[in-house]
Every structure is written in structure tokens, then in C-alpha cells.
Amino acid sequence: MNENNNYVAIMAGGIGSRFWPVSRTSYPKQFIDLLGTGKSLIQWTYQRFTHIVPKENIYFITNEAYIETLKKQIPEVSDENIISEPSRKNTSPCAAYFAHKMMAKNPNANIIMSPADHLIMDEKAFEKTAKDALEFVSNHSALLTMGIKPTRPDTGYGYIQYDVEEELNKVYKVKTFTEKPSLELAKTFLKSGDFLWNSGIFVWNVKTIMEALEKHQPELNEVFLQANGVYNTPSEHDVISRLYAQCTNISIDYGIMEKAKNVYVIPSYFGWSDLGTWESAYDNSEKDYLGNAVYGKNVMVIDATECMIKADDNKLVVLQGLEEFVVVDTKDVLLICERSREQQIKEYVAEVKRNKGDKYL
């Protein structure tokens, strides 16, 4: 496998509404140091991939509003490697756009599509898995995803059922995709032993994904075929800005992976979390002797247990008597929410928008 044929597209256009009120529309979670590591999530993601593909082969796909923030956080990235989406249309248009762009640039490209905001604890294990995945798709017509062994019946993740009998170099044929099941179904999946969480990290050869788009998303594919001849030229941005409005809002999972027959999964063990919610941040945080995860130099906890607390270092916060709560204090918003209900934060954000407009979003 020629390493120069390997590319990464880091998807960085989301707004991370379940991490509100820290994650805002103007400054979403991928640009925030949520766990006090000294680097934002997107900085960690970029650094991780520099060990897997040449730096010049790492691209960012983000909303136009975030380009300047991206440049400040990763100043070494060139303008040519920043792809701006005119609007948020979910991950299928994002994947289709990048596939067409890469087909025009290098028809032998092997591509990793990765979110910008995931936590990976074992960088070496991830590097090996990513390189194995690239090797596999360079030799097989496969749409590959990295699957994570479930540790709990979580209703916030997609689940992948794989065929334990159909294995090739520790890669398995996928039987079914189930997006965000009910709690009872998630418990059943966990017991069965042949289900994995869908990490949202996808790997494929550009020709394979182009064939999948043509077969399963022909209307979406047709949108980007209209831009043939302008990819990787100065005209690309203006043409894509005009065409993007024609795209359907649909995820890779629904649009392609649930429909295709050549879908495979590589079971992965690299300490993964999508850091999608305050609960996942709590799970991946150091805790005091009462089980509290505390971020903020002036937080005082008195008889509170198993809480997730985040506050500005300059703000004195005294917490007493709470059990299993999320408490997030910013300069203009205070969120106090039961941890068991934090999956509903997106609903609370929608309610804030209805009642208060965009001021606090």
C-alpha cells in the first residue's frame, strides 16, 4: 500500500448542542478543552492522524463560520486542506463531497472519515487499527467502520451486529445496523455478544464509496457530479456553495451503511468515547472520593456525590446536597440537570431557543 494514497477527512462542522452551555453555536465543543488536557478535541484529533497519514493529506471539513477558529488552533494547516460547507447537511453530503473531490485528485485514494471531537485514550492502538483498516480497504471493495465493544446498554449510540463466522484478517462482515435503540433493545444487544457500538469513524477506497453513492444515494451523487471539472480549482468553493442547497440532510449511517451489502467492521480496542454528552465526560474524568468530577479551581463540594461540575476558575461555586447531577456554570448560563436526564439537553436547548431566542445558544 502506498501511504501517499491515504487521506483523512476530519468532520468538524457540528455544534455539540448536548454539551451546552459550554458548547455554543459560535464556538462548538470540537474547539474546546473539555477535559482540561491543555488541547482542544480537534487539536488532539489532528495530532493523532499525523502519525497515520502524511500531514498534507489531512483535510478538515467544517462550517464557514469556524474557519478562522480552526486556523488559530491548527495554524500549520493550509487553506487548500480546509473545506468549507455552506450549510449543515449531516454526514452523507460531507462524505459525498469529499469523495468527489478526492476522485478528481487521486482516484486511488483510501479515505478515513473521522469526527473531530472524539476521545481516544490508547493512541498506539488506534494508529494500528487505522493502518490495518486502510490496508484492508485498499485491497477489498469494502465500506469499513471501526466498532467498539459496548460496556453498557447505551441508547445514545448506533449498534453494529457482525457475523462472527465471516472474518478476514480480524475484519468482520456486518449483518445489521441499528441507530439509537430503546433501552430494552440495547440490553439485548449487550447480552448477545455480537454487537458493537458504531464509532462513526469510516474507512473506504474512493472508488468503493463512489459506487455506493451511485447505487444508494443517486440524487445526492448527481448533485456533486455537476461540479466535475471544478474540484481542486479556484472555482470549487463558489460552485459547491450553489449546489449544496440541493443536498438532502441525511447521515452516512442511514444514507449508505444501512443499505450497502459490502459493509465490514473492525472490532477496536483503543479507549474510545464520542464525548457526546456530559455523562460521557463524567465517565472519562478523574473523580474525588465522593465520585464527583470537578472542573474549576474554586469549586467547593459539600456532601454532594457523583456529580459532574464545570465552572470558570474565577467563579466560586459551592455545591451541597446534590446526588448525580450535572452542574455547568458559564458567564451567562447556569445549567443544573439530573445526570440521568442529560440526554434531554438538546430538548432544553430547543426550549431556550423558543423562549429566549439565540442569545444563549
The answer on 307 and 325 residing in a single domain is yes
pTM: 0.93
The answer on 314 and 191 residing in a single domain is no
Q: Which domain holds residue 193?
A: 3-276
The answer on 144 and 68 residing in a single domain is yes
Peptide bond into 21 cis (omega under 30): yes
The answer on 321 and 253 residing in a single domain is no
| Structural domains counted in the chain | 2
The answer on 309 and 195 residing in a single domain is no
**Residue 287, Cβ neighbours under 10 Å: how many?**
14
- Alpha-carbon distance of 103 to 99, in angstroms, equals 6
pLDDT in tens, the chain (361 residues): 688 999 999 999 988 888 999 999 999 999 999 888 899 999 999 999 999 999 999 999 999 899 999 999 999 999 999 999 988 888 999 999 999 999 999 999 999 999 999 999 999 999 999 999 999 999 999 999 999 998 888 887 889 999 988 888 889 999 988 878 888 999 999 888 889 999 999 999 999 999 999 999 999 999 999 999 999 999 999 999 999 989 989 999 889 998 999 999 999 999 998 888 899 899 999 999 999 999 999 999 999 999 999 999 999 999 999 999 999 999 999 999 999 888 789 899 999 999 999 999 9
For residue 361, tell me if it sits in a domain: no
The answer on 193 and 209 residing in a single domain is yes
Position of cell 491548527? Answer: 74
- Alpha-carbon distance of 20 to 179, in angstroms, equals 23
Is-contact 109 102, C-beta < 8 A?
yes
For residue 150, which of 186, 182, 183, 126 has the smallest C-alpha distance?
Answer: 186
The answer on 305 and 257 residing in a single domain is no
The answer on 215 and 287 residing in a single domain is no
For residue 245, tell me if it sits in a domain: yes
Quote the strand ranges of 2-65, DSSP E: 6-11, 58-63
For residue 148, tell me if it sits in a domain: yes
For residue 105, tell me if it sits in a domain: yes
Is-contact 153 256, C-beta < 8 A?
no
The answer on 340 and 295 residing in a single domain is yes
Biggest CA-to-CA distance, the chain: 65
Among 259, 276, 293, residue at a domain's last position: 276
3-state secondary structure of 280: helix
For residue 93, tell me if it sits in a domain: yes
For residue 191, tell me if it sits in a domain: yes
